[in-house]
Amino acid sequence: MTHLPRATLALALLVALPAAAQDTARTLDRVTVQAARLEGVSAFDTPASLDLIDLREDAATAGVNLSERLGGVPGLLARDRQNYAQDTQLSIRGFGARATFGVRGVRLYADGIPATLPDGQGQLSHFNLMGAERVEVLRGPFSALYGNSSGGVMQLSSARGEAPGELRVRGSVGSHATRTLGAQWSGAQDGVHYNLAASIFDTDGYRDHSAARRESFNGKLGFDLPGEGTLDLVFNHFDSPRAQDPLGLTRAQWRADPAQAIAAAHQFNTRKSVRQDQLGLVLDQPLAAGHRLRATAYAGSRDVEQFLPLPVGAQGNPLNSGGVIDLGNDQAGIDARWSWQGELAARPFEATVGVNADRQRQHRRGYENFIDAEWGVRGRPRRDERNRVENVDQYAQAWWRFADRWSLLAGARHSALRFASRDHYVTATNPDDSGRVRYAETTPVAGVMFDAGADWRLYLSSGRGFETPTFNELGYRADGGAGLALDLRPAISRHWELGSKWRWSAGDLAFALFRADTDDELSVASNLGGRSTYRNVGRARRQGAEASMRASFGEHWQWQAAWTLLDAEFRDGFLTCARSGCAVPDMPVKAGATIPGIARQQFFGRLEWRSETWSAAAEAVAQDRVGVNDIGSEQAPGYALLHLEAARRWRFGDDTLRAFLRVDNALDQRYAGSVIVNEGNSRYYEPGPDRGFLLGLEWRKMP
């Protein structure tokens, strides 16, 4: 058994001690969340783990990464990699923990528009926090109702503009030449609601060769329709013109100088540029007699160019696709559902039936990353293929209070996905690698809830989920051959959850036990030069417990804590790569080995004091050690961090000015913020930053 550092206990006590003084001064909001697709049932009465983060609350953060606001959600781990070429590492109950780029295994949505592509690959980078209202996080079996790669679900919602309106400007400066500037304008007039938000972020980066710039704009226009209906037009633009990639470090390099970048990062000028544009329509129309129609349509594009540190010699292989990735994605889709609230056998009943169809078109090109003796430039073409994936899904669910103290939620989703690739780079030494594959799965879920008291619920739920390979995982074959890895199979999982929820006038408490057993687990086969290949490795299990608590006490104090225990292991033995240059797995991994990339325990605690003009807070964050490869030869050590905040507010009539200061890693601990699982050169470690400061101002003006 592994253990958190001893400092964790001291920090936890620091944050938790005032809980003994709680009273009933404040009533927490009883809200209905949309992640469970229930119109008339609150999160408290849903037999699932559901959390809501209110993003409208004052925060002393840069407002760039969603990970800044997710610490209080149990079971969720959002790792800021200090590498904007790779984005946040996000996992829920261990699903997605081993993703080497982007987000996989978790479904993402922004204002009802998928941020996860049909193949299951997602990104958080374009989530704009300036205009955001809340984030909803769904964990456990009912995530499967969202289809492929639903180990969990995260939904970001922008605020709906309301009269009389508001103008907000926010800026900050921080360590490592970090600068942010954002503005939001929202309001409503004559049945039109608007919320427009833009932000710019620049940093030199904590590590050498990690500078980045991000520009983001998000708009939401809402139109009132007859019968209390609404039509929302949502548009998003994101541009990251140049994000340098410092790459991972070996353990010795990390210990010697965590801020360094390896020589290959400079030699090949490793970097990534991303541009995304997306447009969506969301219709929500109540109908007569409890009926309701909700429909979403969207279209968008995402273009990526990435320069990898792939050695020149490796590109001598005629089947190698080069060290520069040029990737264009066009995606579009629709989702329509009908719901009805009424009675069945004289008891409350709600039913939903829907259909979902998405299409992804991908143009994947590869180039050499050198021209003669010049490295880190686009050279000769080495890959050119047109890929597509399409899904057509149907889903249904029903909630019924079948007895005075009992309710049932059940549903199912049928998903059918088609992947196809057409090879346009065919030579005498590189044959036609076109191909296609189809996946289909039905995922049923059900949960029962018992009202043990007016403010106490007990529930049990179970379901089935599945996760197909993404195009990034299909993109390279484990045997080194050209073309897609069409032999990969989807991972099928069976989920169980037993939970309890309790609330009182000044807080709430939730606890859950969970287990997920997976067949055909997808795992990294090799990871060299920024290029990963994958294979199915048999059975796996993720099980554990999570708890969260929020409370207010006295007139000014608030407290929040979240704890997760997660055991994850391979149930079958298999072969893996565990040395530099390995292309064919040859090292045995025994059954019962720990799945890498997952911390056995994690803790978050926050104690906040707030008055009319001043506020202050302390956060304690702790994480157990994390394995970095399948054979378990190394682990990133556990750590405990302390963050501090202070803020002052001034009022000028209806306008306010707020200044804030945040000190991250106040005790200046050295730690690995994230890991690159199975990195072929043993460069597993992505160091977290040393003590850092952020100073900001926010001005709000009422028209």
Instruction: Name the DSSP class of 468.
Output: P
Q: Are 658 and 648 in contact (CB under 8 A)?
A: yes
Alpha-carbon gap, residue 634 to 652, rounded angstroms? 56
Q: Among 272, 225, 50, 9, which Cα is nearest to 140's?
A: 50
Both structure tokens of 686: 């992505």
Alpha-carbon torsion (477, 270, 129, 664), positive or negative:
positive
| Residue 278 within a domain | yes
SS3 track for 54-122: ECCCCCCCCCCCHHHHCCCCCCEEEECCCCCCCCCEEEECCECCCCCCCEECCEEEECCEECECCCCEE
Q: Which of 480, 366, 360 lies closest to 420 in space, CA to CA?
A: 360
> Tell me, what's the pLDDT at 581?
65
Give a yes or no: residue 1 inside a domain. no
Q: According to the model, what pLDDT value does residue 15 have? A: 38
**Domain-located, residue 524:** yes
Residue 380's CATH number: 2.40.170.20
Mean pLDDT by 10 residues, the chain (703 residues): 40 38 35 75 93 90 89 90 86 85 86 90 87 93 89 92 93 97 95 96 96 96 95 96 95 96 96 96 96 97 94 87 93 97 96 97 95 95 93 97 97 95 90 89 97 97 93 76 81 96 95 97 71 85 97 93 96 82 79 93 97 96 94 94 97 94 97 89 93 96 81
Burial (CB count within 10 angstroms: exposed 0-12, middle 13-18, buried 19+), residue 315:
buried
- Print the domain residue range for 464: 6-701
Contacts of residue 169, defined as CB under 8 A and 6 or more positions apart, other chains included, come to 182, 183, 698, 699
pLDDT attached to residue 459: 98
Please report whether residue 575 resides in a domain: yes
Q: What is the largest CA-CA distance in the chain?
A: 79
Residue 41 in domain: yes
pTM above 0.95, yes or no: no
Question: CA 494 to CA 445: how far, in whole Å?
Answer: 10
Four-residue CA torsion sign, 127, 131, 137, 143: negative
What's the confidence (pLDDT) of residue 702?
81
Total number of domains constituting the chain: 1
Distance, CA of 14 to CA of 199 (rounded, Å): 35
Give all strands of the β-sheet with 152-158 in edge-to-edge order: 49-54, 132-139, 152-158, 107-110, 113-114
